[in-house]
Amino acid sequence: MQKEDLPPVLMHDGAVVLLYSPIDARHTPTGRTSHQVDGESLGPASCLIIYRCGTESEAAYYLLGYNPQRSDDKTSLTRHIDLEAARRQAEFEYAGVGSTWEPVQDQRAGFERAMAKVSDDAPDEQDRL
């Protein structure tokens, strides 16, 4: 995987990815949220990523819903005050994700592992609808 394959928001030098989870048969979209861009629904994500920007003492945490099968760069993104709030939002959107988070130690290896799982395991976007 090349840097240009990553969601553009994660190429920001200050982004530190903490957790990721492929969204697969272990998860159920709850339907409690709808992420839209220009009135178009983004549909379910195939991977959730929690990352931090800023220093640990003044950090903002983000929950990113990503689908590499999309032909555009549209992603869902919510900002949270702390890591636990981002995790709660993820579980609110996808039941079961609380038990499938994987920590990311090595940023590059973590991206590659997460995206490989998403590409191999996730059905095509059409199959998910």
Per-residue pLDDT of the chain (129 residues; tens, 9 = 90+): 344 445 555 655 577 888 989 889 999 999 888 887 788 877 788 889 998 888 777 889 999 888 777 666 667 889 999 999 999 999 999 999 999 998 886 555 555 555 565 555 544 444 443
Say how many domains are in the chain: 1
Asked, for residue 82, whether it belongs to a domain, the answer is: yes
d(CA 74, CA 102): 23
- Alpha helix (H) residue ranges in 1-129: 83-93, 107-121, 125-128
CA-based torsion, 72, 76, 82, 86: positive or negative: negative
Asked, for residue 13, whether it belongs to a domain, the answer is: yes
Answer yes or no: are the C-beta atoms of 49 and 19 closer than 8 Å.
yes
Residue 125 tokens read as: 């976007």
Asked, for residue 128, whether it belongs to a domain, the answer is: no
Asked, for residue 129, whether it belongs to a domain, the answer is: no
Asked, for residue 25, whether it belongs to a domain, the answer is: yes
Answer yes or no: are the C-beta atoms of 53 and 59 closer than 8 Å.
yes
Looking at residue 81, its pLDDT comes to 93
98 DSSP assignment = G
The boundaries of the domain holding residue 17 are 3-123
Q: What SS3 class is residue 65?
A: strand
Asked, for residue 90, whether it belongs to a domain, the answer is: yes
Asked, for residue 58, whether it belongs to a domain, the answer is: yes
pTM: 0.72
